[in-house]
Structure 1
Amino acid sequence: MPKDGGIGASTKRREDIRFLTGRGVYTDDLNLHGQTFAVFCRSTVAHGKIVSINTAATEAMPGVLAVFTGQDFKDVGGNPAGWLINSRDGTPMREPKRPVLAHGKVRHVGDAYAAVIAETYAQAKDAAEQLAADTVIDELPAIVDMKAAVADPSNRVHDEIPDNLCFDWGWIEDNRAAVDEVFKTAPHVTTLELVNNRLVPNAMEPRASIGEYFPGTGDYKLTTTSQNPHLTRLLIAAFVMGIPENKLQVVAPDVGGGFGSKIYHYGEEAVVLAAAKKLKRPVRWTAERSESFLSDAHGRDHVTKIELACEKDGTFLAFRTETLANVGAYLSNFSTATPTFLHGTLMAGPYKVPKVYVNVKTVFTNTAPVDAYRGAGRPEATFSLERVIDKMCRELGLDQFEVRRKNFITPDMYPYTTPVGLVYDTGNYHATLDKALEMTDLAGFEARAAEAKARGKLRGLGLSTWIEACGIAPSNLVGVLGSRVGLYDAATVRVNATGNISVMTGAHSHGQGHETVFAQIVAEKLGVDATSVEIVHGDTAKIPFGMGSYGSRSLAVCGSAIDRAMGKIIAKGKKIAAHMLEAAEGDIEFKDGTFSVAGTDKAKTFGEIAFSAYVPHNYPLETLEPGLEETAFYDPGNFTYPAGAYLCEVEVDPDTGKVQVVAFHCADDFGNIMNPMIVEGQVHGGVGQGIGQALCENTTYDENGQLTSASFMDYAMPRADDVPFYNVDYSCQTPCTHNPLGVKGCGEAGAIGSPPAVVNAVIDALHRGGYDHVTHIDMPVSPARVWAAMQKH
């Protein structure tokens, strides 16, 4: 059993005390002396030429301090994409400048073209409305549909890009001919066209930023809702505003959810900094929910054709996919990596399929930018795979469980190199499937289905077996693939003289419980009480350079950096202990917070060693510096590969098409578990979001580029009664072999494995009800879509 507060204990989250008692500190909670307020003018048309912006009347309004337009930022840099992707023919992607404020043209509804700064929010709001009235934008035809965007070169999102394509990517291009040959001779081919619907992240806390400038030193401070404060600082300093990096402090305090949408740097952050410098006063902005719908990076939005070639017995021979991926009007930070290396490289799934070829065309449209959203490419890959496998099983009359078993990579095959270039280090997919079936009570399903039928409902069972890649790495590999940053992380462990510990980490928590879990790891390794460990994050002035939290990297990468730093602490502690105990360093053992001489009762506590390091009366000063503080960087040698099997049971009302998820079972392999309670919470949240995508969430634009789902009145978020009580298991642990904690990551699993399980269950329910003609329904499987599909014969 894990000891209290250590690894493996279901310790309650320490940060919840301040959250539940209203003592959290979010960006919008901060009120600074002399602060001013920013409001942005946003385009009401999807595509238009900015003819004029008349600022005179606005500048004369009460309380107005400054007006900024795109012209004020035309000579500064633009926010770049984080990955440079080459097309199949080797040409680099098209990368149009993403301005701080639009100038010349607006390219999506919500595109900010001006900002008003005033003494109060109400004054800024009134002035922004006046400025909007005094702005002339000639509306141009909107480009919304991806196929039409590619087909019609006369209408362009960016004038310099004639076909609206960012790139035409093939992976692995050398595989294409061999894959095509397999499909020519395959005994059976299943083809499926599907949509991975566009989503709005809708974090509980909207984006907010406060800019400050200090004339005495020339320093800037940005307080902002960020998952990644160091990346924000790097982008603003190096690419957007040219501020010396050592003169810019970025602070992300408590952040109320991110799900990927707060990884990126947004133009509002640059505007509040520029305004703060001009006014010599703090400038604050907080998004309204309507602004979030219009301007936060959206997620998913793929249209895919996937083909599965197989033997008549269901043995997989090859997968082939063609995808159109929407990147919206501008490239965001991970927008080019998400549909390529975070998607295409997972198109083998957990299966020993011999051949895979993936083609992705990314398309500019007059819609909000699309970027990483919880799972980021892996849900898109898993949905395509698990839906086409389910369809193939029905076409050939094969058992969905046995087909997957037949094609699983087996434990004796690791390390296993997939045909799409990944090397899986460990896993046991048979075990997770067996556990999921045990949890489901498969033998009792027919009785449950019969009982549902007696109530007039159709009950169905859907399976999804999935794998993902977490902790994007290593830096030398991703650099070759196009990443413009390193993907390592760092930690500093500072042991104070009295033995308590401060840990500075590049990870940032926006709901994952880092303050609790990282403290558990430190407590376990150093043999101290977890309450004596402080976790410091989110402030570039306090923490070492790090790459933040996304891609389920926090434990695998940042936690490993903490582990390495603690290793250095222990190593130094042994040197000090050897001197104090008059023993050879090789004879010093460290266990449960005590340094001892092997085979003797001579020992010093961790606290005594720490005190000696800072009060070096009896200390080897000639060979060892005083103090007990160490920094370590960790660059992973590989991705980590969580995997699992999800089983969903639904009931469909044949009169209305309404789908109710009545049971959901998750069997996951996350490697070693640090805190079971937090793992369960992460899975619950992810599955909730996945069910939301599968059943109700959908972002829609009309032909004019107007967002028709721009509020909670029109965008259907899942409610408590849309989801069941989940059944979660994580006992099938195959520890990661290449990080010191043996962890794999759990934050995105639920959102990856759940959508295909839900849709597969709906199709199964309809088939059991005699609606065999329904082979696929695109997400969200809303009542209207299900009912319409049932009526088509």
Structure 2
Amino acid sequence: MPKDAGIGASPKRREDVRFLTGRGQYTDDIDLAGQLYVHFVRSDVAHGTIEGIDTSAAAAMPGVVRIFTGADFEGVGGLPCGWQVTDRHGEVMQEPGHPVLARGKVRHVGDPYAAVVAKSRSQARDAAEAIEATITELPAVVDMAAALADGAPKVHDDLTSNLCYDWGFVEDNRDKVDEAIRSAAHVTTLELKNNRLVANPMEPRVAVGDYNPATGESTLYTTSQNPHVIRLLMGAFVLGIPEHKLRVVAPDVGGGFGTKIFHYAEEAFCTFAAKELKKPVKWTSTRSEAFMSDAHGRDHVTKIELALDADNNFTAVRTSTMANMGAYLSTFAPSVPTWLHGTLMAGNYRTPLVYVNVRAVFTNTVPVDAYRGAGRPEATFQLERVIDKAARELGVDPIALRRQNFVKADQFPYQTPVAVVYDTGNYDATMDVLERIGDLAGFEARRKESEAKGLLRGLGVNCYIEACGIAPSNLVGQLGARAGLYDAATVRVNATGSISVMVGAHSHGQGHETTFPQVLAEMIGIGEDQIEIVHGDTSKIPFGMGTYGSRSIAVCGSAMVRATEKIIRKAKKIAAHLLEADAGDIELKDGKFSVAGTDKSVDWSGVTLAAYVPHNYPLEDIEPGLEETAFYDPANFTYPAGAYACEVEVDPETGKVTIQRFAAADDFGNVINPMIVEGQVHGGLAQGIGQALLENCAYDETGQLISASYMDYAMPRADDVPFYSVDHSAATPCTHNPLGVKGCGEAGAIGSPPAVVNAVIDALASGGKSVGHIDMPLSPARVWAAMAGADTPDGASEGAADRSLGGAAH
């Protein structure tokens, strides 16, 4: 029988009461007395020299309070990058400045170079249109290969080239990998693109800056996944505000997907302007602004080679990738195609040799940073596509080829050739579950049914592994992280026994206010309704590194457990005094302290009251009160893994792809709330399917963003996705955190794109069309063109058609 409370139960999300009844408080709901509004003037060219900005007419317009340009930020720091990569030659990456408002040059469409602050939004917008800027347009670089060519226009004049870094990993393996590929019995080669994406969370970004002249304190209300990191970066490196004078608040946030991790210029501007004007300053992004100011995701071009011996064992993997950084380095951008990508290139397999080369490139486009999965989807897509292609070339079953090369259950902990150590897993068991829930044995019958309707049916299988809860801090520091990646929690027990928990993680859809109390309720034995979760306000929480990378329960949840363990140890001492027993004999179960082997007991609230009303209290041993803080720095990553199966139908007349079935078998370790985990997987699958079939952020050759609205950028809708079969029963608990959890938030977006593409390639093969690869998104035009060119070697026309389009129309 399923549990009805605690770990493993599925209570409804308590936060949904306010969300579904319209009582949530989002940043745009915050209106402060006397607040002003800002409208940013953004570049309409991708690359240009700012010759002059005439603000005189705009400044005279009604309601205008002040107009800012880059000159007002002389002496103010630029937006910092939080990760420094050292390349394969031992050279530190090129790191250009990123001003709050552009000075001297604009470097991408949407780059802000002026800002109008007025008494209303409409007045600020009207005045912005009256600003006359003289910008001499320069040649733009959009294509990464062209950006690296000799004589290419430089995005940043003070850099030696548009190459940010040339990274190799593991460099000691390079010659060995080359030799393994030269001597292999079979080598499969694949060139592919991981398409650029725009995250598009439901709530656009908002920033409200406030300043209190009486105390000298600044407050920023913002849509952020990690308010403490924003406070650290903006206070220390941009505006020079001491942390005790800077408060950052992230209230309810309507989705993040990575795009709200980073520190943005608009946040720094509103905080700066509020202090300058001594009035609150508010900015709310429009959806069109979001397309050209939010960090984009993915955008890798890769060549991958898989070497196999005569028995079809994997012997080596070699990849060469160009990763687009855009015009500036966003907060965590350098880490995504390197340490979050290269360390996962072994996948679920016993490949003894791996070499990964990544060249990060500056272009005149919006900066690119972490998007749901961040490096792990890129690694998985390369590896799982080339394995599927190898199976087709060798004429072997793609599942059997994977199983043959899996890391086996008795081989854990498993040292990979790309530095990381998988602590636990059972990939065969996960595949067993997939074959069952996906009814793969019944696929051929379903294929015949599709063929009877004139449709091609294909089955695509994919495995993935990801690294979550990035840690430990001393390791990531050596890899270039400029911050620790621990987390913190304070557990405050009130006199009557209720609990307030201040956590460094931030919930923007994950359900922390429901799941975190489940953990404490299990540990103590009290009702979950007695536990309150406080997050998102730097004035209330000791510190925290935020929510991303499926780290919340594994890292922040572990800090909460450690703090609660301290609470329980102290509470047992108090109970022992009340019960006139030894603390070592005290047991806590179902909210009651008892003396082992006796009927003597005192309930939880009796002990907590004694802590705050210490009339009968062991004062000589411990101080009154019941509050503890813990910081938790993990010993290793966690390694969720899974196997996915997708079935599609392809209309051979039009190229339209319809997903008919999708099954997902995941190993998330121990699961706190199965319902919420299932919801996380569903959301990730929809985003991955969106990337595979629909979404594509596209620029023309001049750097104009041609997919800058929902008219040109196709987001998945309900009828684009099927009902899913989801299972997480083949769990192997993590061995190095106290909850045995691994994380679940990104899995669906990592595993689904290659499963979809593999299925489409299989469908075309069933119709006699031998196509090696089609670049995402697999729009009808691209699929139809690939079929039309299938007689050429390896589908030479693959991905050529529709390459300039923003996505597939509905």
Q: Which category describes the TM-score, using the shorter chain as reference length?
A: over 0.9
Q: For residue 374 of structure 1, what is the aligned residue in structure 2?
A: 372
Distance across 1 between alignment mates of 2:279 and 2:74: 23
> Residue 614 in 1 paired to residue 612 in 2?
yes
Q: For residue 439 of structure 1, what is the aligned residue in structure 2?
A: 437
> Residue 126 in 1 paired to residue 126 in 2?
yes
SS for the counterpart of 1:402 is helix
Aligned-residue offset at 1:162: 2.8
Q: Give the alignment partner of residue 560 of structure 1, picking from 551, 554, 558.
A: 558
Q: Give the alignment partner of residue 626 of structure 1, picking from 624, 627, 634.
A: 624
Q: Give the alignment partner of residue 789 of structure 1, picking from 781, 786, 789.
A: 786
After TM superposition, the structure 1 = structure 2 runs for residues 628-777 of structure 1, keeping only pairs within 5 Å, are 628-772=626-770, 774-777=771-774
Aligned-residue offset at 1:508: 0.3
Q: Which amino acid aligns with 1:621?
A: L
Q: Which amino acid aligns with 1:615?
A: V
Distance across 1 between alignment mates of 2:11 and 2:568: 25
> Residue 117 in 1 paired to residue 114 in 2?
no
Contact 2:655 2:779 in 1 (8 A): yes
Distance across 2 between alignment mates of 1:353 and 1:633: 36
Q: Which amino acid aligns with 1:424?
A: Y
> Residue 89 in 1 paired to residue 89 in 2?
yes
Distance across 2 between alignment mates of 1:310 and 1:205: 47
Contact 2:220 2:249 in 1 (8 A): yes
Q: Which amino acid aligns with 1:777?
A: I
Aligned-residue offset at 1:5: 2.8
SS for the counterpart of 2:333 is coil
Aligned-residue offset at 1:161: 1.9
Distance across 1 between alignment mates of 2:64 and 2:339: 47
Q: Which amino acid aligns with 2:100?
A: V
* Cα shift readout 1:168-213 (whole Å, capped 9, x = no counterpart): 0000101101111101111110000000000000000000000000
Contact 1:390 1:760 in 2 (8 A): yes
- CA 1:447/1:694 → structure 2, altered by over 3 Å: closer, same or farther? same
Distance across 1 between alignment mates of 2:764 and 2:30: 53
Q: For residue 540 of structure 1, what is the aligned residue in structure 2?
A: 538
After TM superposition, the structure 1 = structure 2 runs for residues 51-200 of structure 1, keeping only pairs within 5 Å, are 51-131=51-131, 134-200=132-198
Q: For residue 423 of structure 1, what is the aligned residue in structure 2?
A: 421
Q: For residue 217 of structure 1, what is the aligned residue in structure 2?
A: 215
Distance across 2 between alignment mates of 1:314 and 1:478: 35
Contact 1:479 1:486 in 2 (8 A): yes
Most deviating of 296-305 and 65-74: 65-74
- CA 1:368/1:11 → structure 2, altered by over 3 Å: closer, same or farther? same
Distance across 2 between alignment mates of 1:517 and 1:477: 29
Distance across 2 between alignment mates of 1:660 and 1:326: 31
Runs of 4+ aligned structure 1 residues displaced above 3 Å come to none
Contact 2:689 2:716 in 1 (8 A): yes
Contact 1:28 1:286 in 2 (8 A): yes
Q: For residue 48 of structure 2, what is the aligned residue in structure 1?
A: 48
Q: Which amino acid aligns with 2:745?
A: G
Distance across 2 between alignment mates of 1:775 and 1:783: 17
> Residue 344 in 1 paired to residue 361 in 2?
no
Q: For residue 309 of structure 2, what is the aligned residue in structure 1?
A: 311
Q: For residue 467 of structure 2, what is the aligned residue in structure 1?
A: 469
Q: Which amino acid aligns with 1:238?
A: A
Contact 2:146 2:152 in 1 (8 A): no
Q: Which amino acid aligns with 1:579?
A: H
Contact 1:74 1:99 in 2 (8 A): no
SS for the counterpart of 2:576 is helix
Across the two proteins, how many residue pairs are aligned to each other?
790
SS for the counterpart of 2:638 is coil
Aligned-residue offset at 1:154: 4.1
SS for the counterpart of 2:726 is strand
- When the two chains are superposed, the root-mean-square deviation of aligned CA atoms in Å is 0.7
Distance across 1 between alignment mates of 2:152 and 2:575: 75
Distance across 2 between alignment mates of 1:418 and 1:375: 20
Q: For residue 22 of structure 1, what is the aligned residue in structure 2?
A: 22
Distance across 2 between alignment mates of 1:237 and 1:271: 12
SS for the counterpart of 2:335 is coil
* Cα shift readout 1:704-755 (whole Å, capped 9, x = no counterpart): 0000000000001111110000100000010000000000000000000000
Q: For residue 547 of structure 2, what is the aligned residue in structure 1?
A: 549
Q: Which amino acid aligns with 1:338?
A: V
Distance across 2 between alignment mates of 1:213 and 1:143: 41
Contact 1:204 1:256 in 2 (8 A): yes
SS for the counterpart of 2:557 is helix
Q: For residue 31 of structure 1, what is the aligned residue in structure 2?
A: 31
Aligned-residue offset at 1:163: 2.3
Distance across 1 between alignment mates of 2:312 and 2:328: 42
* Cα shift readout 1:142-166 (whole Å, capped 9, x = no counterpart): 1100000001334100012232011
* Cα shift readout 1:316-343 (whole Å, capped 9, x = no counterpart): 0000000000000000111000000000
Most deviating of 71-80 and 165-174: 71-80
Distance across 2 between alignment mates of 1:175 and 1:80: 33
Distance across 2 between alignment mates of 1:520 and 1:529: 9
Distance across 2 between alignment mates of 1:440 and 1:4: 28
Distance across 2 between alignment mates of 1:586 and 1:340: 49
Distance across 2 between alignment mates of 1:325 and 1:738: 33
Q: For residue 353 of structure 1, what is the aligned residue in structure 2?
A: 351
> Residue 255 in 1 paired to residue 257 in 2?
no
Contact 1:151 1:163 in 2 (8 A): no
Most deviating of 309-318 and 727-736: 309-318
Distance across 2 between alignment mates of 1:696 and 1:402: 30
Distance across 2 between alignment mates of 1:350 and 1:153: 42
Q: For residue 407 of structure 1, what is the aligned residue in structure 2?
A: 405
Contact 2:141 2:152 in 1 (8 A): no
After TM superposition, the structure 1 = structure 2 runs for residues 561-600 of structure 1, keeping only pairs within 5 Å, are 561-600=559-598
Distance across 2 between alignment mates of 1:411 and 1:187: 27
Aligned-residue offset at 1:311: 1.6
* Cα shift readout 1:241-288 (whole Å, capped 9, x = no counterpart): 101111000000000000000000101011111111122111100000
SS for the counterpart of 1:662 is strand
Contact 1:207 1:225 in 2 (8 A): yes
Q: Which amino acid aligns with 1:177?
A: D
Aligned-residue offset at 1:75: 1.5
Distance across 1 between alignment mates of 2:271 and 2:470: 31
Q: Which amino acid aligns with 1:358?
A: V
Q: For residue 520 of structure 1, what is the aligned residue in structure 2?
A: 518
Distance across 2 between alignment mates of 1:589 and 1:26: 43
Contact 1:74 1:103 in 2 (8 A): no
Distance across 2 between alignment mates of 1:244 and 1:392: 56
Structure 1 portions without partners, runs of 5+: none
Structure 2 portions without partners, runs of 5+: 792-810
Q: Which amino acid aligns with 1:264?
A: F
Aligned-residue offset at 1:313: 3.1
Contact 1:166 1:362 in 2 (8 A): yes
- Identity of counterpart residues, as a percentage? 70
Contact 1:313 1:398 in 2 (8 A): no
Q: Which amino acid aligns with 1:108?
A: H
Distance across 2 between alignment mates of 1:770 and 1:422: 42
* Cα shift readout 1:668-718 (whole Å, capped 9, x = no counterpart): 000001000000000000000000000010000000000000000000111
Q: Which amino acid aligns with 1:297?
A: A
Aligned-residue offset at 1:33: 1.0
Aligned-residue offset at 1:621: 1.1
Contact 2:459 2:645 in 1 (8 A): yes
Aligned-residue offset at 1:511: 0.4
